[in-house]
Amino acid sequence: ETGVTQTPRHLVMGMTNKKSLKCEQHLGHNAMYWYKQSAKKPLELMFVYNFKEQTENNSVPSRFSPECPNSSHLFLHLHTLQPEDSALYLCASSQEATRGTEAFFGQGTRLTVV
């Protein structure tokens, strides 16, 4: 248990569905992140929130929409996804986004788009 909880752990969705991934951290951190991990690819940073403000969006398609209502919760809203979006989606948190401190990861949501 890292203090970062992601739900659901597994998700299968059709290309026309709308779903959301949820992340919650109990560490008192101020930065939260979404990463995408595909087979044989590095961890791809998608979004960064620092003190509830989005500070990075690494050219992520608009079918992925993040939401950070407070510093403890982070959502990733999904709609009209493509099969190539199937991957492990990891949430992480750290004390601050730009200072070199440990990032704690959740266990991830394994997403399959059919």
Partner 1 sequence: QQQVKQSPQSLIVQKGGISIINCAYENTAFDYFPWYQQFPGKGPALLIAIRPDVSEKKEGRFTISFNKSAKQFSLHIMDSQPGDSATYFCAASGGYSTLTFGKGTMLLVSP
Binding positions for partner 1, rule: CB under 8 A? 2, 4, 33, 41-43, 45, 48, 56, 90, 92, 94, 97-108
Q: Which is nearer to partner 1, 50 or 85 (CB)?
A: 50
In the complex with partner 1, which residue's Cβ is closer, 73 or 79?
A: 73
CB of 96 to partner 1, least distance (A): 10
| Tokens read off for 41 | 């690819």
Instruction: Between 16 and 39, name the residue whose CB sits nearer to partner 1.
Output: 39
**Nearest CB to partner 1, comparing residues 46 and 113:** 46
DSSP label of 21: E
Q: Smallest distance, Å, CB 16 to partner 1?
A: 29
CA distance 107 to 88: 9
Q: Residue 105 CB, nearest distance to partner 1 (Å)?
A: 3
In whole angstroms, how close is the CB of 103 to partner 1 at the nearest point?
5
Residues 63/81, Cβ–Cβ less than 8 Å = yes
Neighbouring C-beta atoms of residue 68, cutoff 10 Å:
20
* Contact assessment for residue 54 and residue 31, using Cβ atoms and an 8 Å cutoff: no
* Chain-centre distance for alpha carbon 66: 8
